[in-house]
Amino acid sequence: MSPSTASGIFARVSFIRPKEVAKLLAPLLALGLCLATDAALPSVYPSDYSEQYFPAFLRIVLLLYLACAALSCWFKAVRQRLLHFWGLLIAVFVLLTFLNLQTVKSGNFLLPYVPSPDQILGAIFGNLPTVLDNLGGSLSLLLQGITLGGVAGMVYGSCMGYSRFFNYWLSPFIKLIGPVPSTAWMALAMVLAPSSHAASVCLVALSTWFPLSVNLSGGIRGVNKTYIERAQTLGASHFFILRKVIYPAVLPNIFTGLFMGVCFSLTALVGAEMLGVQSGLGWYISYAEAWSEFDLIYSTILIFILVAFTLITILFKIQKQVMKWTKGAIQW
């Protein structure tokens, strides 16, 4: 690297205030404390237990944080992210330290009910093929159900909101069926569906259909009638009015319904995977519970949290791109 190139790189380093430096270093100190206590104290519970995953996990997190801290000198967005989450990062590292001390380092929290962080990580990476198989099964079932429920919700909500005739005949069904939890329909789904997989997909779809239909129909009824009348005066068809006038106006309602539908679908997924499905995160939790393998339960719940957070984050990223003109929608 030539001296001019190096000087150019360092010239782009943005100024970091001392207060910001302190906030960037505080999580690093908390992570260092976690690493130091794990390395200094022997593992005594269970007897002769040897950690395999937790020390490596902490070192990987340390390297990632150091890389992000270095990038924050050049990229203000990275620095703002680290400064925003600095308190939460400290809390996470302190919690990991406390849990590690109370489990494998002392045995104050007894097995199998409270496994150590190393055992939870071992349940994931030690059974990675099984975990990936169950994760793939849940994602496939969830996405199929959300897609089916989303399409049904768009059609049902559009008919209810746009047509008085359809609203008269369709609204009683959604008022009677929609509020009922999808898991209450498990027995009926098993009888009517051609397979257990189809029954599970229908239960997840039902959880998406209801909130999307209600939000969309309510949004359509709230659209200014002047816009519709002007479009009709110009000879626009009903399909054109829906596509160009109504749907752009009710985008906040659509994304609100999708947000609620995804949340309800994640809840329904666990129950849906009890209908004879042989893979999935919900099925895996039931299996681990039957054998009292709490490390599998905790690890699967952790994966469930990451999946839910990722799906909802993607949904709101799409909303942010599609609805750049609004700031009043649900924030994530």
- Residue 14 clears pLDDT 80, i.e. is over it: no
Number of domains composing the chain: 2
In a domain, 330, yes or no: no
| Domain boundary pick from 125, 141, 161 | 125
C-alpha angle 178/180/184, rounded to 5°? Answer: 130
In a domain, 96, yes or no: yes
In a domain, 77, yes or no: yes
pLDDT computed for residue 233 by the predictor: 87
| Domain boundary pick from 125, 156, 181 | 125
172 lies in the same domain as 305: yes
Per-residue pLDDT of 243-297, as tens digits, reads 889 998 899 899 999 999 999 998 898 888 877 677 888 888 888 888 889 999 9
104 lies in the same domain as 51: yes
CATH number at residue 173: 1.10.3720.10
Give the pLDDT band of residue 300 (cuts 50, 70, 90): very high
In a domain, 249, yes or no: yes
Average pLDDT over residues 38-46: 93
In a domain, 9, yes or no: no
186 touches 202 (CB < 8 A)? no
249 lies in the same domain as 312: yes
What are the tokens at 256?
A: 């609100």
178 touches 210 (CB < 8 A)? yes
142 lies in the same domain as 153: yes
In a domain, 293, yes or no: yes
In a domain, 136, yes or no: yes
169 lies in the same domain as 261: yes
Q: How far is CA 98 from CA 37, 104, 240, in A?
A: 10, 11, 60
110 lies in the same domain as 255: no
Per-residue pLDDT of 48-99, as tens digits, reads 889 999 999 999 999 999 999 999 888 888 999 999 999 999 999 999 999 9
- Residue 319 clears pLDDT 80, i.e. is over it: yes
- In 3-state terms, the chain is what percent helix, strand and coil (to 5)? 75, 0, 25
Identify the residue with better confidence: 67 or 330.
67
In a domain, 168, yes or no: yes
Q: Please enumerate, as own/partner, the contacts of 196-200 that have beta carbons within 8 Å and a separation of 24 or more.
A: 196/275, 196/276, 196/277, 197/141, 197/277, 199/272, 199/275, 200/141, 200/145, 200/272, 200/273, 200/275, 200/277
The candidate with the shortest Cα–Cα distance to 155, out of 179, 142, 174, 131, is 174
Which residue range is the domain that position 52 belongs to? 15-125
| Domain boundary pick from 125, 151, 178 | 125
106 lies in the same domain as 186: no
- Residue 4 clears pLDDT 70, i.e. is over it: no
